[in-house]
Structure 1
Amino acid sequence: MYTEVVVLSSGSAAKAGAVSFSEEPNTAIAAAGTPSHVHFEEKLHDSVVMVIPQHDGNFMVKVGFLKTQHKYEIVFDLPEVPSLGKAVCPAPVPNQHICITNITPVAEGGLRVTCEYMAHQEGVLCEELMLVSESQEEVCVGVKVQARVMDRHHGTPMLLEGVRCVGVELEYDSEQSDWQGFD
């Protein structure tokens, strides 16, 4: 028996992937009493950073799984926002965990945004960035960067395309200190 399942992913560009199940006998598996196989012919989900337009004109950027105490470079493309114009810069809003390092226009329209992000604690974290127009006062677009951050000791996540680890903060353990204290 051979069954094929086709999975379509949601998003701007749908991709098809197939999973096939066959019940051909396999000597290694037949001994265990489970004669089924699963074959992955293509990736079943997009492995890129997702940019999701919000109803208020801002954007949500989902960057997947990261690890605490790791610094990441995140690159994503925003679609064209006509009200911003061509000259765009990051708003001078301080955020100790994320900062925009580069904004460049994309040939097809829109902007390529590069930022650095320090994953500082476990959980689903959402950091906010703001892009402002250099030519029109009061025009801005908000970008929320959402990450699922896991503890540094719980495995290694497969990073999405557009996310790259650029550093690790050393873990400080007071038990390993050579300092003898005050006399």
Structure 2
Amino acid sequence: MEESHHDQHHVHFDATVINDELHDNTIIYQVAPGGRSLMIHLGFLQIKHRYRIELNIPAYALIEAGLKIGTNSSYEVDESMPLNVNCRLLEFPTTPIEKDDKSYYCAKIEFFPHKEKLLREHISVCGKEDPCVKIHLVFVARVLGRGKGTPMLRDGIHLIGVEDDEESELSDWQGFPTKSEQ
């Protein structure tokens, strides 16, 4: 069968490729080699924008990363680790939710991309009753600088504020005088 010149310029995508986990708009969770850390890929974010991120962490990923999950276990930020001012844990639930025959922990964080390019921020979570039960959450984002575009945010990522430039606040320059001021 001959194709016309018009048909040769159409691109057809296989639906199975488009709908895989790497091409949809969800946050990606990956257990780091050796366990004890869970990498959370946030996609593209914008510098000096503050985000609230709602995570749906698969329970199996937390278990593979070494977190012992029990009934009504409570978790908090590990105080023995340095405080992270750019990534703050707001909520880490005691019980998972069930969805599509899988268990998820719906944690919430606040995230502030403070520099351009690849950004990695760490939070260590430990058990309230047993501080030896720990997991390191590593948040990875590609951060766009000012004027470099507006990223499409992944599901669960919400913009909550934009920080002003420090340089504009520190400047005492009032601009050029108007004709009436001269």
TM-score computed with the length of structure 2 as normaliser: 0.71
**1:84–1:140 Cα contact (<8 Å) kept:** no
Q: CA deviation at 1:41?
A: 7.7
Q: Please point out which of 108, 111, 114 is paired with 1:114.
A: 108
Q: CA deviation at 1:74?
A: 1.4
For 1:178, the aligned partner's letter is Q
C-alpha root-mean-square deviation of aligned residues, in Å?
Answer: 2.8
- The alpha-carbon distance between structure 1 residues 94 and 136, as it changes in their structure 2 partners (threshold 3 A), is same
Q: CA deviation at 1:52?
A: 0.6
For 1:106, the aligned partner's letter is P
Partner of residue 102, structure 1: 91
In 2: Cα distance, 1:84 partner to 1:177 partner: 57
Partner of residue 38, structure 1: 11
The answer as to 2:43 corresponding to 1:64 is yes
Q: CA deviation at 1:148?
A: 0.5
Structure 1 stretch displaced more, 40-49 or 153-162: 40-49
In 2: Cα distance, 1:111 partner to 1:133 partner: 14
- The alpha-carbon distance between structure 1 residues 39 and 175, as it changes in their structure 2 partners (threshold 3 A), is farther
**2:56–2:105 Cα contact (<8 Å) kept:** yes
Q: CA deviation at 1:175?
A: 5.9
Partner of residue 13, structure 1: none
In 2: Cα distance, 1:157 partner to 1:56 partner: 31
Structure 2 unaligned segments of length 5 or more: list them: 176-182
- The alpha-carbon distance between structure 1 residues 137 and 103, as it changes in their structure 2 partners (threshold 3 A), is closer
The answer as to 2:140 corresponding to 1:143 is no
Q: CA deviation at 1:178?
A: 2.8
Higher strand share: 1
Partner of residue 178, structure 1: 174
Counting matched residue pairs gives 153
Higher helix share: 2
Name the % identity: 24
TM-score computed with the length of structure 1 as normaliser: 0.71
In 2: Cα distance, 1:56 partner to 1:39 partner: 39
Structure 1 stretch displaced more, 107-116 or 150-159: 107-116
